[in-house]
Structure 1
Amino acid sequence: MPRTDAPGSVAPTGSAAGSAAAAAAVELAGVKVTYGSAKQPVTALDGVDLLIHPGEFVVLVGPSGCGKTSLLRVVAGFEQPSSGVARVRGALPRPGVGAGVVFQQPRLFPWRTVGGNIGFALARLGVPRAERAGRIAELLDRVGLPDTAGRRTWELSGGQQQRVALARALAAEPELLLMDEPFAALDALTRERLQEEVRALAGRLGTTVLFVTHSAEEAVLLGSRVLVMAAGPGRVVAELPVGLARDPGTDVAALRSSPEFARLRSRLTEIMRG
């Protein structure tokens, strides 16, 4: 995978490579994903190598059809590579094991309350019924929706529903959070608020995040590094480290208007267009 000359961005070799892979939250090696028939195959990903270390916030950007979602689905265990290998903390990924997933649409159960949606996830995780109410309240408070457990999902705004989906994903206390354009359908103000909340939440919990977006601005704001993908077939063609402040006390509004933010956004846009 192409690398920048930023410190720590050069892929290790030999025994160092083995140690890095063993310590990785996510490792992809030579991953290829092909759809369609043998006579008319469509290659969504080809030869993708990737290491994501614990606590990183890695963002995937690129044009539609470049394989961003396919890559995310491989890491989630929803898809198997046609060739190559994917590992999450050293093991083959399995759906619902070790990773929380937030999709572009909330995908909540409309017949359940807010608390019922989160409680369903907790029940599947084997959390005793007596403990669920407390956990539900804690999770809703964490995403900024206290005292909403008894409300129906259709009573909530789109942004609030997406927060419930995030709370449900966090129910398993995942070390890895996979997010597939989760704010794309939201209005600009709600999107900005949720960007800031997810950024702060990931920093506070130390969660490893793999986030898909089309937006250079969103990528620079959220990511500790950004991977640029190109289509035909899907592959990683560039990497941009982002050195913006990430501590929980960061003034995100000031960050958005800083010269360094503007420089990184401009540079990423240039790479994406190239």
Structure 2
Amino acid sequence: MPAVASVASVAESAVPAAPAVVLDGVGVRYGGRRGAPAVTAVAEVSLTVGEGEFVVLVGPSGCGKTTLLRVVAGFERATAGSALVHGAPPAPGGGTGLVFQQPRLFPWRTVGGNLAFALARHGLPRAERPDRITELLDLVGLAGYAGRRTWELSGGQQQRVAIARALAGRPRLLLLDEPFAALDALTRERLQEELRTLTARSGTAVLFVTHSVDEAVLLGSRVLVMAADPGRVVADLPIDLPRDGATDPAALRGSAEFARLRGALSRTLREAAAG
């Protein structure tokens, strides 16, 4: 006779997982003490990032994109509203990987040493670290680079190491703040395509900040458009492009649907900037 699941186990399996990120009416204000005028960086921002979603924030400089990322990362506290990451208040670490504009690697360590440091922070036993380092470097296209010094790498290769480091703890959420902004156009396109494929295969939820319309359309499953003074979300655009990891990104860039979505996002950004 087949085993019968208990009522409790059936109930637990029926409970959906909490979204990766939930912001509800989040506001962030600076100043306002000792006579200094208060500045509202963001106001009344509500958004949800579901499991496996790749959500992109775009908008003009000063609209609060990075501020929101810092709130989700647990580096900054909202002064209004609430923020939850996988159902709990945001906290540094805690299953979240971070990638910044600059790689911020330790120059005195090798590539493998940088990853080993991250793995140690995540509590991986020393004996298991070499295999995990090999796995991470294979994942970002840097197989055999463990013994290289970081200053021997190109900017694009350093950023790949930064992405590998962010993935070291098998995060359920990745936060990326314009990670490809300082790279040349060809390297940027290549890393965009690799990140798109990597996240599609892993199912990791992503919140990604950029100024690039093309980057937003290629990477995002949704694009949130922000306006400034104060920073707020003014549009939520779904991006219905194949995300199976098998579709050639170069073909996507040349498709009529990509051009249509790019045009729609450009118009929305202009409307947001106009107030």
Output the TM-score relative to the length of structure 2: 0.91
Q: Does 1:238 align with 2:235?
A: yes
Aligned to 1:154: 151
- The partner residue of 2:54 within 46, 57, 61 is 57
Aligned to 1:24: 19
Deviation at 1:36, TM superposition (A): 2.0
Q: Write the letter of the residue equivalent to 1:33.
A: V
Equivalent runs, 1:153-172 vs 2, <5 Å? 153-172=150-169
Q: Write the letter of the residue equivalent to 2:78.
A: P
CA distance in 2: counterparts of 1:21 and 1:99, whole angstroms: 20
Report the RMSD for the aligned CA atoms in angstroms: 1.4
- The partner residue of 2:121 within 120, 124, 129 is 124
What are the superposed Cα offsets for residues 228-250 of structure 1, whole Å, 9 maximum, x if unpaired?
Answer: 00000000000110000111110
Q: Helix, strand or coil for the counterpart of 2:68?
A: helix
Q: Does 1:35 align with 2:30?
A: yes
Q: Helix, strand or coil for the counterpart of 1:44?
A: strand
CA distance in 2: counterparts of 1:182 and 1:120, whole angstroms: 21
Deviation at 1:96, TM superposition (A): 1.2
Q: Helix, strand or coil for the counterpart of 2:92?
A: coil
- The partner residue of 2:78 within 78, 81, 85 is 81
Q: Write the letter of the residue equivalent to 2:27.
A: K
Equivalent runs, 1:129-140 vs 2, <5 Å? 129-140=126-137
Aligned to 1:4: none
Equivalent residues of 1:28, 1:86 under 8 A apart: yes
CA distance in 1: counterparts of 2:155 and 2:180, whole angstroms: 10
CA distance in 2: counterparts of 1:138 and 1:146, whole angstroms: 8
Aligned residues: 256
Percent identity between matched residues is 71
Residue 273 and residue 31 in structure 1: after superposition, are their counterparts in 2 closer, same or farther (change >3 A)? Answer: same
Equivalent residues of 1:104, 1:185 under 8 A apart: yes
- Contiguous gaps of at least 5 residues in structure 2: 1-13
Deviation at 1:37, TM superposition (A): 3.1
CA distance in 2: counterparts of 1:205 and 1:21, whole angstroms: 19
Q: Write the letter of the residue equivalent to 2:178.
A: E
- The partner residue of 2:209 within 188, 209, 212 is 212
Q: Helix, strand or coil for the counterpart of 2:144?
A: coil
- Contiguous gaps of at least 5 residues in structure 1: 1-18
What are the superposed Cα offsets for residues 31-72 of structure 1, whole Å, 9 maximum, x if unpaired?
Answer: 111112334111111011111110000000000000000000
Deviation at 1:256, TM superposition (A): 0.3
Equivalent runs, 1:168-183 vs 2, <5 Å? 168-183=165-180
CA distance in 1: counterparts of 2:40 and 2:165, whole angstroms: 33
Deviation at 1:23, TM superposition (A): 2.7
Q: Does 1:107 align with 2:90?
A: no
What are the superposed Cα offsets for residues 106-135 of structure 1, whole Å, 9 maximum, x if unpaired?
Answer: 000000000000100001111111111111
Q: Helix, strand or coil for the counterpart of 2:251?
A: helix
Output the TM-score relative to the length of structure 1: 0.91
CA distance in 2: counterparts of 1:51 and 1:126, whole angstroms: 30
CA distance in 1: counterparts of 2:101 and 2:16, whole angstroms: 30
Residue 174 and residue 23 in structure 1: after superposition, are their counterparts in 2 closer, same or farther (change >3 A)? Answer: same
What are the superposed Cα offsets for residues 164-193 of structure 1, whole Å, 9 maximum, x if unpaired?
Answer: 000000001001000000000000000000
